Amino acid sequence: MSLLIKNINEIYTANSENQIIKNAYILIKNNKINEIGQMKQLENKNLKYSNIIDARDNIALPGFINTHTHAGMSLLRGYADDLPLKEWLENKIWPFEKGLSADDIYWGSLLSIMEMIKTGTTTFVDMYFQMDKVAEIVKKTGIRAVLTQGLIEEKDGLQGLEKAKDFSLKWNNKAQGRIKTMFAPHAPYTCSPEYLNKIKNIAIDNDSAINIHIAETKNEFEFINDKYDYTPVQLLDSIDFFDVPVLAAHCIYVNDDDINILKEKNVGIAYNPLSNMKLASGIAPINLMLKKGINIGFGTDGVGSNNNLDIIEEARVGSYLQKVKNLDPTVINKEDILKMLTIKGARAANLNNLGLIKNDMLADIILINIKDNTRYYPHHNNLSNLFYAGSGNDINTVIINGKIIYHNNELISIDSEKVYYEVEKRSKILAQ
Amino acid sequence: MSLLIKNINEIYTANSENQIIKNAYILIKNNKINEIGQMKQLENKNLKYSNIIDARDNIALPGFINTHTHAGMSLLRGYADDLPLKEWLENKIWPFEKGLSADDIYWGSLLSIMEMIKTGTTTFVDMYFQMDKVAEIVKKTGIRAVLTQGLIEEKDGLQGLEKAKDFSLKWNNKAQGRIKTMFAPHAPYTCSPEYLNKIKNIAIDNDSAINIHIAETKNEFEFINDKYDYTPVQLLDSIDFFDVPVLAAHCIYVNDDDINILKEKNVGIAYNPLSNMKLASGIAPINLMLKKGINIGFGTDGVGSNNNLDIIEEARVGSYLQKVKNLDPTVINKEDILKMLTIKGARAANLNNLGLIKNDMLADIILINIKDNTRYYPHHNNLSNLFYAGSGNDINTVIINGKIIYHNNELISIDSEKVYYEVEKRSKILAQ
């Protein structure tokens, strides 16, 4: 299997020099990038390839990484909005979720995966339940994912730990290596330090990383502070939780000491601006954390609190929100966005060989047509047009692990009509 | 000329009862809505119409109103981002704008109008220069607009007032009534109280309203405060500026007394969240102003500081920004958004008979297909899906003043290829 992408208008490599290669080609062999060059060099080469894409009028970027989702929640899109958090959770979200069957989660996650592929996300980090079902779809659809079975102490207990271990043994590195697993205690306010410690030890034994929500709300911060006299980050640090690689979602209520801990322990952060805004959780001090060199990616969170999975919109709003919070328009510029969506997101999610257009990296690449769309005119700067004017809808081609998954508005491996039918039918019953 | 829109899935009327009419039709005669009813009533009627749209699987809303733009600025899209305000203006925006010819503004505004129509904006309020050119395009393309020739005292002086008067006499109520004009002093920091007073008197003489920027930045607030010992709003009130109808853009730096003045004088507000975030200007106290009953619409501002004209994205982010600023997820709910995008925007812009789907209102209507798009599944709530998940890209049909302007991805009266060519050519020369 080899694929040549030729006539690329510009390649945005996402490397530390912000390198752009104009009028270029990419040769993919199996699941990796094999060669990158300029079109004028191509004539003198005798490249062999089994498939070809003419990317005239397209720019190429590394596929985007959505560092925090709950894919199964797409069945809740539009089910409850604009409510106080407690009422939203207790009267709407939790009762609805209680009714979710494994098959409901299968179809909901498939709808989310469709939306993510179409909008340029090639890797997503998911935390939910019935993750076996999600793993099956990831295998089938060709997307890349970090799958983490959520653990709430009261609900899942010790039995949950065994199930999570089994899930990890069954799925880690499967689907041609596209699936990675992590252990996922829900949060420090739903898991005791003892429970968290057990999970940490299981992660060490299984050479695994951990995915967790930290300091998402003021209530959580106050609850932990009252109970343990620690901030959530310090509580976790006190049990050496960060001795394993950790991807922490939100981190809104963190102080300077917390940020130092996160940096020192190389914790990755998932920044979920739209969810944090819509639920009125607060604004994370992302600017300070970025300046410290912490690896931060963007996350959409679940559709119930977003309400879409468009990671470009997430990035744009995430950048603008930090600009206005800090009253400084230079914060999170477009090159920062590119890295957070790709290489920094990959690092935050503990993924190697991913997030750059560079030889020997995994071949996750997206193409965007810059010709037939008002939002890309004029062409002063294509990256600015993509991140500050464009939308996930503008993605033309998605290649994951060397395979074409989406091209010219066509999803290769998914029957959209069937997904819409199942999602609609199941949501109606669940809402009753 | 009569047009029947039949089989509409849901009509969102935007009236004060948040009325939704399911499985319905709308009959348009000439430029007004003539009749609204349910499909089951249609059979027994013998309606006459010259044109028909089958809106199966579509919802209908009043066309959106963009209360603050500088359409000609689309030539600057992506030209300068992420810079400190002073550097952005003085080194990039102003030098570029100095080079703009009347024809450049013609083509830039046409690109903006294309983008606005495609994303569901049926009326825009514009403040820029060379407005004769913009009026010509508005006439030609079929969009509705409030056109206001910007006045900066040092640059335009008394001669500018005469030109603005001429423009108003020439264009107000023209293009089948689609064009309204206002007078437009740029801001209290670029126009003295004496100059502002002259403009107010001209507006009174011409029975016209006024469009102005107020309290956009902290610098402006401090400048006015130091010079006059007033807030910007109080300075204007001290010269009875609000005796004429005023549409004020931004109003970020306003205190409780200012808000009382704005309410008492029935000033309309254009809320521009994305521009205010991107330029790091600040967050307007929209929640307080809405609660007072002030008419507030959404505005995109110019493409140079946004960088697109998607009013749905503006509304979504504007709502979420107020939720997080106030740490209250109930602020600006989806019904508020609908009204701000339509009837309240119309009132803020001093426009009558516009912004509702109701008999005898001007026939500005948009249709959105809720079937072939991941973001509209499941269908718990179509309004939530449109505002919280959807995008301006999802608009299927745009009717303005009773005429079909955009339908099934086709712009009826605009040659897109020609616009792209001209915009690209001119921007390249201007950027040199």
> Which tens digits make up the pLDDT trace of B201-247?
999 999 999 999 999 999 999 999 999 999 999 999 999 999 999 99
Look up the pTM and report it: 0.98
Q: How many helices (H) and strands (E) does chain B have?
A: 17, 17
Contact call for A283 and B78, based on CB within 8 A? no
> Which residues lie closer than 8 Å to B267 by C-beta, 6 or more apart?
B242, B246, B247, B248, B261, B294
Lookup: tokens for A8: 């690329």
- Determine what percent of chain B is predicted with pLDDT higher than 70: 100
Residues in chain A with pLDDT values less than 50? none
- For tokens 């669940």, the residue is A430
Residues in chain A: 432
Tokens 């309410």 belong to which residue?
Answer: B263
Q: Is residue B192 helix, strand or coil?
A: coil
Contact assessment for residue B423 and residue A377, using Cβ atoms and an 8 Å cutoff: yes
Residue B44: pLDDT above 90? no
- Tell me what pLDDT residue A208 has: 97
Chain A residues within 8 A of B393 when measuring between CB atoms? 391, 393
Q: State residue B93's pLDDT score.
A: 94
| Type of residue at A363 | A
CB atoms within 10 A of CB A165: 18
Identify from B118, B253, B324 which residue to disrupt to test chain A contact, counting A C-beta atoms within 10 A and taking the largest count.
B324
Rounded to whole angstroms, the Cα distance separating A188 from A204 reads 19
Instruction: Identify whether the C-beta of residue A307 lies closer than 8 Å to the C-beta of residue B388.
Output: yes
The pLDDT value given to residue A357: 98
Asked if the C-beta of A274 comes within 8 angstroms of chain B's C-beta atoms, the answer is yes
Cβ count near B71 (within 10 Å)? 29
Please, is B89 exposed, middle or buried when counting C-beta atoms within 10 Å of its C-beta (0-12, 13-18, 19+)? Answer: middle
The yes-or-no verdict on residue B427 having pLDDT over 90 is yes
CA-nearest residue to A310 within chain B is B389
ipTM above 0.85, yes or no: yes
Q: Above 90 in pLDDT, residue B432? A: no
Q: Taking CB atoms and an 8 Å limit, are A114 and B380 in contact across chains?
A: no
Q: If you average pLDDT over every residue of chain B, what do you get? A: 97
Contact by Cβ (8 Å): A341, A356: no
Torsion angle of alpha carbons B270, B350, B407, B51, nearest 10°? 170
Nearest-angstrom CA–CA distance, A58 and A396? 8
Q: Which helix (H) or strand (E) holds A134?
A: helix A131-141
Average pLDDT of span B99-106: 97
Q: What is the pLDDT of residues B261-316, one digit of tens each?
A: 999 999 999 999 999 999 999 999 999 999 999 999 999 999 999 999 999 999 99
What's B380's DSSP letter? S
Rounded to the nearest 10 degrees, how much is the dihedral formed by the CA atoms of A88, A93, A95, A98?
Answer: -160
pLDDT tier, B45 (very low <50, low <70, confident <90, very high otherwise): confident
Residue B167: its pLDDT value, please? 98
Of A75, A375, A380, the CB nearest to B427: A380
pLDDT at B43 over 90: no
Q: B333 vs A82: CB contact, 8 Å cut-off?
A: yes
Whole-number Cα distances in Å, B158 to B7, B155, B163, B205: 55, 10, 9, 16
Q: B6, B345, B420: which is closest to A369 by C-alpha?
A: B420
Contact B172, B183 (CB under 8 A): no
Interface probe with B: pick from A74, A380, A393, most Cβ of B within 10 Å: A380
Q: Which of A111, A321, A431 sits opposite B380 (nearest CB)?
A: A431
Q: Would you state the pLDDT for residue A413?
A: 85
SS3 A368: strand
Contact A241, A203 (CB under 8 A): no
Considering only CB atoms, which chain A residues are within 8 Å of B111? 374, 377
Domains and CATH numbers, chain A: 2-61+363-411 (2.30.40.10), 64-348 (3.20.20.140)
B58 touches chain A (CB under 8 A): no
Q: Give the integer Cα–Cα distance in Å for B33 and B28.
A: 5
List chain A residues with CB under 8 Å of B83.
329-330
The 10s digit of each residue's pLDDT in B317-341 is: 999 999 999 999 999 999 999 999 9
Residues of B within 8 A of A419 (CB-CB) are: 377
- Yes or no: say if A364 and A123 are a contact pair by the CB < 8 Å rule: yes
Over residues A192-250, the pLDDT tens digits come to 999 999 999 999 999 999 999 999 999 999 999 999 999 999 999 999 999 999 999 99
Residue pairs between chains A and B whose CB atoms are closer than 8 Å: 201
| Beta strands at B58-62 and B365-369: parallel, antiparallel or unpaired | antiparallel
Q: Enter the tokens of residue A338.
A: 């590119």
Predicted confidence at residue B108, as pLDDT, reads 98
Residue A321 with chain B: CB contacts under 8 Å? 277, 321
What are the tokens at B406?
């955009």
What are the chain B neighbours of A111 within 8 Å (beta carbons)? 374, 377
CB contact under 8 A, B321 and A326: no
pLDDT for the residue A432: 85
Residue indicated by tokens 């106030």: B326
Cα separation, B305 vs B81, in Å, equals 8
Mean pLDDT of B139-149: 98
The pLDDT value recorded for residue B1 is 83
Is B161 in a helix, a strand, or coil?
A: helix
Q: What is the pLDDT of residue A367?
A: 98
| Mean local confidence (pLDDT), B74-97 | 94
* Residue A61 identity (one-letter amino acid): L
Eight-state DSSP code of residue B63: P
